[in-house]
Amino acid sequence: MDEDTLRQLLARAREGDIEARGALIKAYRSFVFSVVSAYCRRALELGLDDELSIGLIAFDEAVTRYQPERGVPFLAFARLVIKSRLANYFRQEGRYREIAGGREISEEMVQVEAAAAWEDFLWEEAVQDRAEEIKDYEQALEEFGIALEELVSISPKHRDSRLALIRAAQSIAADEKIFGRFGPERRLPLREMASKTGLSPKVIEKNRKYLMALAIVFRYPERFIYLNSYIRPRAR
Amino acid sequence: MRGLLLKRKNGGGIIITHDGLFCRGVVGEHDALGDEVTVEPPDRRTVQWWLAAAALSILCFGLGVYRMFFPGVWAYVALDLDPSIELALDSQLRVVGQRGFNDSGNKLLSPLDLRGKPVDVCIGYLLERAYAAGYLSEGENSVVLVTVTSQPSHRKLGTEALASFVAESFPARQGGVEIVAISTGSDTRQRAVSNGLSTGRYLLQQELRRSGHMVSDGSIREDPLQQIEEEHGLTVAALVGSNGSVLIRTWDMPGIGPAADPQVFLAAPVPVEGEERE
C-alpha cells in the first residue's frame, strides 16, 4: 500500500469509517502476524493461538491512537502497540499463574498502564525502536559484505543518478529471484537486471553495493519501517 | 545537510538523506541513532580547501602561460585623424589590441588584425590606409593628434619621437600637416574610454568646455579635428602644455614659395591663458 493511500485510510478510519478500518486490517494482516510470530519466536495459527487475535486487536487500537504529527511511521507505531499488548498479555498470564500459586500481585502495574501514561511510554519507546532498527540495518548490510563507511564513498554524488538507482533498487527488491542473486560473491544477472531496471549493465555493476544497500531496505519494508518511510525521493 | 543518523563514532556520524545520499559529518552530542540530524560534512570542506588550492595553482600557472602568449598591455597609443583609433602595446611595443572610437575609426580597422606587429609599422600602415580611404587629402592642411599613455617611459614613445615618426610617415606629399603629440596618465585615458572617446578627443572636449564651448559627445567623437578647430576657434596644439610636442610639416613656407623638400620644425607649445592643465 502506498503512503498516500495509507494516510487517507487512517484519516477515514479515525473519523469512524468502518470500511477504511477493515481495509487497513485486511491489508496489514500478514504484517501483524509477522510481528506477533517474531515476538513469540514461534509459528502461530489463527484460531488456535490467542496471541494472533491480540495482535489484530492491538493493530486496530494503533489505528485509533496513531498521531501522524509525532513523525513516527504508522507501521512502526503499530508494531510498538502490538508488542506492548503482547507483553501485557504475557504479564497478565504470569500474574494469573502467580495468583494460582498463592501469591498476591499489586494493582499498581495496572494503574501504570493507564491510557495516557501508556501512550506516552509508547511514543518514547518509538525512539528506542528506531535506534534498534538502524542497528539491525547495519547488521543486515554486514551480512552482504557492505559497511556503512564505504557507502559514504560510493554513493553517487549527483541527485539524478541516485534517484535512478533508488528506482532500480525498488524494482530489484520487488523481484525475489533477482534479489536472491545479490551477494558479496555472487554473479549478478546483469542483462536481466538491466532490462528490468532500465540501467546499463555497467552502471549496475559499478553501483552494485549501493543498489544492494537500498534494495535491502525496500525488500523488507516491515523490518525497516523507519528507513522505508524516510527514503522518499521526490523529483525536483 | 539533513538526514537520518545511521552510525555514530568519535563525534562524527553517517547519515542517509531523503534522496539516498550516504554522508559523513559532525553530529551533535545528544543526537541518537535514527534521529533526523543536520551535519556539517568535514571531509568535504577539507576536499574543498584542497580543490581551492589546486585551482589557484592551476590558475597562476595558466595565467603565466597566458601572459607568455598574450602579454599584458604596457602602453596605449591613440591616433586621431578623422578616424579615431587606439592601439594597445606590450613592452616590446608590439600591438596586443586595437579599437576604433568613431565610425570612421571602426571602418578603418574592421578588416585589419594588427596584433603582433610593431607599433611604428602599424602607425605607418594606418596613415596609408587613411590616405587611401580619403580621410587625408593632398593639398590640404591636416591635423593629426597622437596621444600616448604609458606608465614607464620609452624612448620610442616620447612625444617628440612619435610626432617626428608621424611626420615622416605622413602619406600626403602636398599641403601642410600639424602633428600634436601628447603624453597622458592612465586616469585620463580611463575617463576618456568610459566616455566612449579617444584620449585625444577627450582632452579636446575638456579644453573646449574650459573655454566655455559646449560641444556634444557625438560631434567631438565624429567631426574632423580641423572642423572642430574652425567652429570653436581653438587649436588642437593648445592641448599640449608641458606634456607634449607640436610638429608642423610644410612644403609651402610663407613668403618663400614652394620648397623642393618638405620643411619640418618643432613648434613651441601654444599656451592657454589662465587655464589649468589636467
**Residue range A126-159, pLDDT digits in tens:** 888 888 899 999 999 998 888 999 999 898 988 8
Query: Between chains, do B4 and A226 touch, taking CB under 8 Å as contact?
Result: yes
The confidence score (pLDDT) of residue B272 equals 43
The confidence score (pLDDT) of residue A51 equals 86
Query: Between chains, do B24 and A230 touch, taking CB under 8 Å as contact?
Result: no
Three-state SS sequence of chain B: CEEEEEEEECCEEEEECCCCCEEEEECCCCCCCCCEEECECHHHHHHHHHHHHHHHHHHHHHHHHHHHHCCCCCEEEEEECCCEEEEEECCCCEEEEEEECCHHHHHHHCCCCCCCCEHHHHHHHHHHHHHHCCCCCCCCCEEEEEEEEECCCCHHHCHHHHHHHHHHHCCCCCCCEEEEEEEECHHHHHHHHHCCCCHHHHHHHHHHHHCCCCCCHHHHHHCCHHHHHHHHCCCHHHHCCCCEEEEEEEEEECCCEEEEEEEEEEECCCCCCCCCCC
B27 contacts on A by Cβ (under 8 Å) = none
- Separation between Cα atoms, residue B110 and residue A36, nearest integer Å: 87
Query: Which residues face B36 on adjacent strands?
Result: B4
- Separation between Cα atoms, residue A159 and residue A197, nearest integer Å: 17
Q: Which three cell numbers stand for residue B116?
A: 603582433
Q: What is the mean pLDDT of residues A86-102?
A: 64
The confidence score (pLDDT) of residue A113 equals 52
Please give the single-letter amino acid code of residue A131: A
For residue A126, the chain B residue with the least C-alpha distance is: B34
Strands B2-9 and B12-16: antiparallel
Which one of A72, A146, A150, A151 makes the best mutation probe of the B interface by having the most chain B beta carbons within 10 Å? A151
Q: Is the pTM of this model over 0.90?
A: no
Q: From the CA of A162, how many Å to the nearest CA of chain B?
A: 6
The confidence score (pLDDT) of residue A103 equals 39
Q: What is the mean pLDDT of residues B141-166?
A: 82
**Strands of B36-38's sheet, edge to edge?**
B22-26, B12-16, B2-9, B36-38
More confident residue, B240 or A64: A64
Question: pLDDT at residue B277 above 70?
Answer: no
Work out the burial of residue B235: count CB atoms within 10 Å of its CB; fewer than 13 is exposed, 13-18 middle, 19 or more buried. middle
Question: pLDDT at residue A97 above 70?
Answer: no
CA A68 from chain center: how many Å? 16
Is A178 in contact with B34 (CB distance < 8 Å)? no
For residue B23, the chain A residue with the least C-alpha distance is: A152
The confidence score (pLDDT) of residue B275 equals 43
The confidence score (pLDDT) of residue B41 equals 62
CA B46 from chain center: how many Å? 42
Query: Between chains, do B22 and A131 touch, taking CB under 8 Å as contact?
Result: no
Q: From the CA of A130, how many Å to the nearest CA of chain B?
A: 5
For the segment A22-73, what is each residue's pLDDT rounded down to a tens digit?
Answer: 999 999 988 898 888 888 887 777 777 788 888 999 999 889 888 888 778 8
The confidence score (pLDDT) of residue B238 equals 75
Is B148 in contact with B77 (CB distance < 8 Å)? yes
Task: Give the pLDDT band of residue B45 (cuts 50, 70, 90).
Answer: low
Q: Which of A217, A214, A191, A213 is nearest to A204 (CA)?
A: A191
**Portion 19-38 of B in contact with A at CB < 8 A:** 19-24, 32-36
Max CA distance (Å), chain B: 107
For the segment A158-193, what is each residue's pLDDT rounded down to a tens digit?
Answer: 888 899 899 888 888 888 888 877 765 567 777 888
Cα–Cα distances (Å) from A189 to A4, A18, B72, B79, in that order, read 34, 46, 61, 76
The confidence score (pLDDT) of residue A106 equals 43
Task: Give the pLDDT band of residue B60 (cuts 50, 70, 90).
Answer: confident
Question: pLDDT at residue A115 above 70?
Answer: no
Q: What is the mean pLDDT of residues B22-47?
A: 78
